[in-house]
Structure 1
Amino acid sequence: MKEPEKGLRDRLVDVGVELVAAEGAEALTLREIARRAGVSHGAPRRYFPTHLELLSAIARRGFAELAERVAPVTGDGATAPRARLTALGRIYLEFALGNRGMYALMFRHDLLESGHSGLRDTSLPLFAVLVDLVGRARPDADARAVAGSLWANLHGIAQLWGWGSLQLATASEDFTALLRTALDAHLGPEGGR
């Protein structure tokens, strides 16, 4: 790809990342991204033949940022797996709550299902990290199943906390107790294994 083309392609994704941060995933139309990038409304189609491909490129940035945040926690082999899972869970929830538009975009079913987007290649390594840590913390269990359940639990906490439902139900403004309870439910009580 020629440099000017690569530059415009990256600029379209950059604009999309900024737009989703400011206005949410619903604002990510081809026309609005093109307008903010200062190009014709047809220009994005030269680099992203479908709207899903552009949205997937934007979502890949979100997965890359989340992976970057998680990397220091997952690479520390000296720290116990449970402590690393606690840190990973906290990072995941903080990312989800601090980047609600991007988080919603990253887990859109239509983007993850579209085979041409490559989004699964970006998202599955993060799940593999979770599976590995769960396997270390729970060598007696099916690590993929436990990791899937834990992830679903964390995703639910993120969604319900983002809507304000859990704060109301738990009378708390801190999700730490929920994170600890989710880990206990999937890994057993801390110190118990």
Structure 2
Amino acid sequence: MHDDEGLRARLIRIGGELVDRDGPSAVSLREIARSAGVSHGAPRRYFPTHLELLSAIAREGYADLTAAANAALADTSGAPRARIATLAHMYLDFAATHRGRYELMFRHDLLASDHLRLRDTSLPLFQLLTGLVAQARPQSHPPAEVVAGALWANLHGIAQLSQWGSLPLATGTAEPDALLDAALAAHLGPAA
């Protein structure tokens, strides 16, 4: 059983590496098996469909993103806005360094299929952001959940448009810090 658990984890890890390198659409069960050094049928013992393996890779991506957020915030104390900025920087960095996995984590077909309860995996990170927004804007209207959702959508847009190379063309800057500062000001108000 231990070997089986090790192979399952290895398939997810190798799948994640391939997704980051080649993109989600270029990765197949057969390619993951070949890269893991196992028979092409071995992944099917754990993942009967390609969608289930991609869901497992996405779930691992959420776990990695949450761990990175917790580590970043553990090193940051102070005002909620500064903590939100730290979280936002980490999010954009994760998106840039794990491009394929990041894309996979937000694929509608994976989230809608509810393999491995991906929506549940992503919610704690959103709740963390919502809590920080509530601290930064205790008497806010709209509610903290709406402001956090708008900020997250903005961050997601910055990440995607940066990856596509669209932001430098439209804004004249490739500096994500300037865009991040503008997003924080738009959603949280001017910095004190």
Q: TM-score range by the shorter chain?
A: over 0.9
Cα distance in structure 2, aligned partners of 1:91 and 1:116: 26
Counterpart of 1:139, as a letter, is: P
What's 1:160 paired with? 161
Change (3 A) 1:34 1:113: same
**Structure 1 residue 157: Cα displacement:** 0.7
Does residue 80 in structure 1 map to residue 79 in structure 2?
A: yes
Structure 2: which amino acid aligns with 1:34? A
SS at match of 2:57: helix
Gaps of 5+ in 2: none
Q: What are the within-5 Å matches in structure 2 for residues 18-97 of structure 1? A: 18-75=17-74, 78-97=77-96
- Return the offset for 1:162: 0.9
Q: Secondary structure at the match of 1:118?
A: helix
* Structure 1 CA distance for aligned equivalents of residues 81 and 134 of structure 2: 10
Q: Is 1:146–2:159 an aligned residue pair? A: no
Give SS of 1:132's match: helix
- TM-score between both structures, scaled by the size of structure 1: 0.92
1: CA distance between counterparts of 2:47 and 2:181? 42
Residue pair 1:63, 1:122 contacting (<8 A) in 2 also: yes
Shift of 1:111: 1.1
Give the gaps of 5 or more residues in structure 1. Answer: none
Count, aligned residues: 190
The CA deviation at 1:50 is 2.2
Task: Using the TM superposition, give the Cα deviation of residue 27 of structure 1 relative to its aligned residue in structure 2, in angstroms.
Answer: 1.9
Higher alpha-carbon deviation: 105-114 or 38-47: 38-47
> Quick one: distance in 2 between partners of 1:75 and 1:188?
25
Aligned residues: CA RMSD = 1.5
Distance 1:115 1:171 in 2: 40
Structure-2-length-normalised TM-score: 0.92
Match of 1:128 in 2: 127
1:38 CA drift (Å) = 2.0
1:76 and 1:7, CA in 2 relative to 1: closer, same or farther beyond 3 A?
closer
> In 2 relative to 1, CA 99–116 (structure 1 residues): closer, same or farther, beyond 3 Å?
closer
Residue 123 of structure 1: how far off its partner (Å): 1.1
Is the 8 Å Cα contact of residues 52 and 117 (structure 1) preserved in structure 2? no
**Does 1:101 find its partner at 2:70?**
no
Letter of the structure 1 residue corresponding to residue 102 of structure 2? Y
Q: Deviations over 1:95-119 (max 9, x none)?
A: 1112111110111111112223222
Quote the offset at 1:77 in angstroms: 7.9
Amino acid in the other structure paired with 1:117 = L
Q: Is the 8 A contact 2:76 2:86 kept in 1?
A: no
1:67-99 Cα distance to aligned partner (Å, 9 max, x none)? 121113434684100000111111111111121
State how far apart, in whole Å, the 2-side matches of 1:78 and 1:167 are: 32
Verify the 8 A CA contact 2:76 2:83 in the aligned structure 1: no
Identity of paired residues, percent?
61
Match of 1:189 in 2: 190
Taking structure 1 as reference, are residues 159 and 77 closer, same or farther at Cα in structure 2, changes over 3 Å only?
Answer: closer
